[in-house]
Amino acid sequence: MINTEKPLMNAEFIQAVSHAIHSVWGDIAQDAWELGEMNNAGALELVLDADRLQTGGYKEAADLLEAAYKAWTYKTVARYLNRQIKLV
């Protein structure tokens, strides 16, 4: 079970959020590519932005990421996710 007060950024954390991130990217990728060339960091930012995980039905993943942002900062979490999850 992941500590939701200060989640560790490890394999268990990635496993807990990866499906949700990939699923939301699948929903928005076509529209995102219309914006122009996209790198992995940009794709992740689009997924993490604007409560897309929450509105996509992934409340648990969204809540876990919010806890990680509070514990580690958004920038630190986004950098870690960029190294661990490949969307493009």
How many separate domains does the chain show?
1
Position 3 in a domain? no
Position 1 in a domain? no
pLDDT digits (tens, 9 = 90+) for 34-65: 988 899 999 999 999 989 999 999 999 999 99
- Determine whether 86 is exposed, middle or buried from the number of CB atoms within 10 Å of its CB (0-12, 13-18, 19+): exposed
Q: What range defines the domain where residue 67 resides? A: 27-84
Confidence of residue 1 (pLDDT cuts 50, 70, 90): low
Q: Note whether 63 and 2 are within 8 A (CB).
A: no
Position 51 in a domain? yes
- Can you give the pTM of this predicted structure? 0.92
